[in-house]
């Protein structure tokens, strides 16, 4: 957001991120983004300091035959990185915008296809010895060290980083 001239107020909320079995990738991120935005809305809806604000909630997952969240440990990180090497997977971000004054919601999602190089077990071991993979969906950050293992993408790079700003900007046009 800063890169696009917006200085957001960040208000993390304690949100239940459990998902129903069999949920699709778009539905999952849209549900999680909406839950986060609604929790924030509930926290500020009666506070006049936030009048005129738009609340933005988002969530990003990596999808390769399953939702790949943040790794539980080194073995889980290795498993995820092994699963995506030499092939493609999807990065899906859901966004929910809530008009603080009216409570109206806009929910959207964006999908980017990411193609990974065929890196070795030793390269995975080197990567997971770093801190970077452990707080990232799918065990990697495209904008970090792991970027060297990305062959190419089809879609929005900013979506892979975690926020598809072009989609948000389009949804915000009625408010600007």
Q: What pLDDT was estimated at residue 1?
A: 79
State the catalytic residues: 59
pTM of the predicted structure, to 2 decimals: 0.89
**CB-neighbour burial class of residue 132 (10 A; exposed 0-12, middle 13-18, buried 19+):** middle
Domains along the sequence of the chain with CATH: 22-175 (3.90.950.10)
Q: What is the DSSP string of 90-142?
A: EEEEEEEEEETTT--EEEEEEEEEEEE----HHHHHHHHTSSGGGGSGGG--T
User: What residues contact 150, with CB distance under 8 A and at least 6 apart?
Assistant: 114, 115, 116, 117, 142
DSSP state of 149: G
Other beta carbons within 10 angstroms of residue 146's beta carbon come to 21
pLDDT along the chain (176 residues), means of 10: 80 90 94 97 95 93 93 97 98 96 95 98 97 94 96 96 87 74
């Amino acid at each position: 957001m800063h890169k696009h001239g917006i200085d957001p107020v960040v208000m993390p909320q304690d949100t239940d991120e459990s998902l129903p079995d069999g949920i699709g990738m778009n539905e999952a991120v849209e549900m999680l983004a909406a839950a986060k935005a609604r929790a924030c809305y509930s926290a500020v809806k009666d506070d006049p300091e936030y009048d005129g604000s738009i609340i933005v909630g988002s969530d990003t997952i990596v999808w390769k035959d399953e939702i790949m969240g943040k790794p539980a440990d080194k073995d889980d990180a290795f498993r995820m990185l092994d699963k995506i090497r030499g092939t493609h997977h999807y990065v899906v971000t859901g966004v929910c915008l809530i008009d603080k004054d009216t409570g109206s919601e806009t929910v959207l999602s964006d999908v980017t296809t990411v193609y990974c190089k065929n890196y070795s077990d030793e390269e995975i071991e080197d990567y997971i010895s770093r801190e970077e993979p452990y707080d990232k969906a799918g065990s990697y950050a495209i904008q970090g060290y792991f970027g060297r293992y990305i062959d190419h993408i089809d879609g929005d790079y900013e979506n892979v980083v975690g926020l598809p700003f072009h989609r948000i900007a389009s949804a915000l046009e009625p408010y600007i």
